[in-house]
Amino acid sequence: MSTPTGSPVGRFLWNFRHHPKRELWFAWWVMVIFYQLYGVLFFLVTRVQPPASPAWDTPMVVQWFNDRHFGLLAGFGVVFLISGLCAPMNALLAYSMRRMSVSRVFGYSYLIMYSLSAIPGMLVMAIAMTVGALRPDRDPELIHWLFDFAFLSFSGTMGVFMIGSLVWLVAILIDKNGVFPKWFGYLGLCNALTEVVVAPAWIFHRGVFAWNGAIAWWINMVVFVAYTACFIVLLRKMIEREDFGTGPLPDLPPKAERSQQDSVGAVQ
Amino acid sequence: MSGTFNKRLAIVWLVLTAMTLAYIWLDHSADDDGVLKASTVVTVSAIVIALVKVRIIFREFMEVRHAPVLLRHLTDAWVVLMAVCLLGSYFIGSALAG
Amino acid sequence: MRRTDGELILFWTLPAIAIIWVSAFFLFPGFLHPMSPTMSADAVADFYRDETARIRYSMILFNWFGVGLIPTVILLAMQVRRMAHRTPILSYSLIACAGGPPCLFLIANMFWLLGSFRPERSPELTQLLNDLAWVTFTVLVPYLIAQCLLLALAIYWDRQEQPVFKMWVAHFNVLVAVALAPAAFTALAFSGPLAWNGLLSFWVKNIAIAAWIVVMGVVLGQTILRRRAQEPVAA
Amino acid sequence: MTNLQEDSSTEQFERKPARFVPGQPDMWVFVLFESLLFTGYFSVYLIGRIQNRDLYLHSQAALDLRFGIFNTIVLLLSSWAIARCVQASREGAYRDALRDAFLTIGLGIAFLVSKVLEWVKEIRLGNRFTSNEFFQHFFFLTSIHLLHLLIGFVVMGVAVYQLWSPVRRSQQLVETCATYWHTVDFLWVLIFALLYVVR
Q: What are phi and psi of B35, to 5 degrees?
A: -85, 125
Per-residue confidence (pLDDT) for residue D4, from 0 to 100: 42
User: Does D136 contact chain A (CB < 8 Å)?
Assistant: yes
User: Does D21 contact chain A (CB < 8 Å)?
Assistant: no
Answer whether residue A4 shows pLDDT above 70: no
Interchain pair D30, A207: CB under 8 A: no
Per-residue confidence (pLDDT) for residue A259, from 0 to 100: 53
Query: Cβ neighbours of residue A73 under 8 Å, at least 6 residues apart?
Result: A130, A133, A134, C185, C187, C188
Interchain pair C139, A130: CB under 8 A: yes
Share of chain C above pLDDT 90, in %: 86
Q: What are phi and psi of C19, to 5 degrees?
A: -65, -45
Provide the residue ranges of all domains of chain D, joining segments of one domain with +.
67-199
Summarize pLDDT for C127-177 with one digit per residue, the tens.
999 999 999 999 999 999 999 999 999 999 998 888 999 999 999 999 999
Which residue range forms the structural domain that includes residue B51?
A: 2-97
The residues with which C31 forms a beta bridge, in sequence order, are: C34
**CA–CA distance, C90 with C74 (Å, rounded to integer):** 12
- Going by C-alpha positions, the residue among A87, A109, A89, A72 that lies closest to residue A31 is A89
For the packed helices D53-60 and D133-164, what is the interaxial angle rounded to 10 degrees? Answer: 50
Interchain pair D21, B68: CB under 8 A: yes
The tens-digit pLDDT sequence of chain B (98 residues) is 467 778 899 999 999 999 999 888 888 776 666 677 788 888 999 999 999 999 999 999 999 988 999 999 999 999 999 999 999 999 998 888 76
Measure CB to CB from residue A190 to each of D24, D28, D37 and give the nearest one: D37
The residues with which B35 forms a beta bridge, in sequence order, are: B32
Q: Which string of b and e fits C130-140 if b means at least 16 CB within 10 Å?
A: bbbbbbbbbbb
- Going by C-alpha positions, the residue among B52, B67, B63 that lies closest to residue B8 is B63
Prediction pTM value: 0.89
The residues with which B32 forms a beta bridge, in sequence order, are: B35
Per-residue confidence (pLDDT) for residue A240, from 0 to 100: 93
Summarize pLDDT for C2-42 with one digit per residue, the tens.
677 888 899 999 999 999 999 999 999 999 889 999 999 99
pLDDT band, very low/low/confident/very high, at A159 (cuts 50, 70, 90): confident
Answer whether residue D147 shows pLDDT above 90: yes
Interchain pair B81, D193: CB under 8 A: no
Summarize pLDDT for D76-119 with one digit per residue, the tens.
999 999 999 999 999 989 999 999 999 999 999 999 999 999 99
Tally the domains of chain A: 1
User: Does A229 contact chain D (CB < 8 Å)?
Assistant: no
Q: What are phi and psi of A180, to 5 degrees?
A: -125, 150
In a domain, residue A268? The reply is no
Answer whether residue D10 shows pLDDT above 60: no
CATH of domain D67-199: 1.20.120.80
Q: What is the 3-state secondary structure (H, E, C) of D84-128?
A: HHHHHHHCCCHHHHHHHHHHHHHHHHHHHHHHHHHHHHHHHCCCC
Would you say the C-alpha torsion A51, A57, A59, A60 has a positive or negative sign?
negative
Residues in chain D, overall count: 199
Residues in chain C, overall count: 235
Model ipTM value: 0.88
In a domain, residue A53? The reply is yes
- Measured between beta carbons, the chain C residues lying within 8 angstroms of A90 are 92-93, 96
Determine the residue of chain A that is closest to D180 in CA distance.
A186
**CA–CA distance, D100 with B9 (Å, rounded to integer):** 13
User: How far is C-alpha A251 from the geometric centre of its chain's CA atoms?
Assistant: 26
Q: Which string of b and e fits C14-48 if b means at least 16 CB within 10 Å?
A: beebbeebeebeebbbbbeebbebebebeebbebb
**CA–CA distance, A113 with D66 (Å, rounded to integer):** 45
**Interchain contact D/C (3 or more Cβ pairs less than 8 Å):** no
Tally the domains of chain B: 1
Which residue range forms the structural domain that includes residue A38?
A: 8-250
Per-residue confidence (pLDDT) for residue B57, from 0 to 100: 94
Summarize pLDDT for D32-79 with one digit per residue, the tens.
999 999 999 999 999 999 998 889 999 998 899 999 999 999 999 999
Per DSSP, the three-state class of B95 is helix
- Distance from the first to the final alpha carbon of chain C: 7
Summarize pLDDT for D148-197 with one digit per residue, the tens.
999 999 999 999 999 998 888 889 999 999 999 999 999 999 999 999 99
- Among D residues 76-135, those touching chain A with beta carbons less than 8 Å apart: 129-130, 133
Q: Is the peptide bond before C15 cis (omega within 30 degrees of 0)?
A: no
Q: One-letter amino acid identity for B39?
A: S
pLDDT band, very low/low/confident/very high, at A255 (cuts 50, 70, 90): low
pLDDT band, very low/low/confident/very high, at A20 (cuts 50, 70, 90): confident
Interchain pair D147, A196: CB under 8 A: yes
- Going by C-alpha positions, the residue among A79, A81, A82, A76 that lies closest to residue A129 is A76
**CA–CA distance, B90 with D39 (Å, rounded to integer):** 12
Interchain pair D37, A219: CB under 8 A: yes
- Among A residues 26-45, those touching chain C with beta carbons less than 8 Å apart: 26-27
Per-residue confidence (pLDDT) for residue A234, from 0 to 100: 95
- Measured between beta carbons, the chain D residues lying within 8 angstroms of B26 are 197
Q: Which residue has better confidence, C235 or C152?
A: C152
User: How far is C-alpha C179 from the geometric centre of its chain's CA atoms?
Assistant: 13
Interchain pair D140, A209: CB under 8 A: yes
Per-residue confidence (pLDDT) for residue A15, from 0 to 100: 82
- Measured between beta carbons, the chain B residues lying within 8 angstroms of D27 are none
- Measured between beta carbons, the chain C residues lying within 8 angstroms of A20 are 86
Interchain pair C100, A85: CB under 8 A: no
Per DSSP, the three-state class of C31 is strand
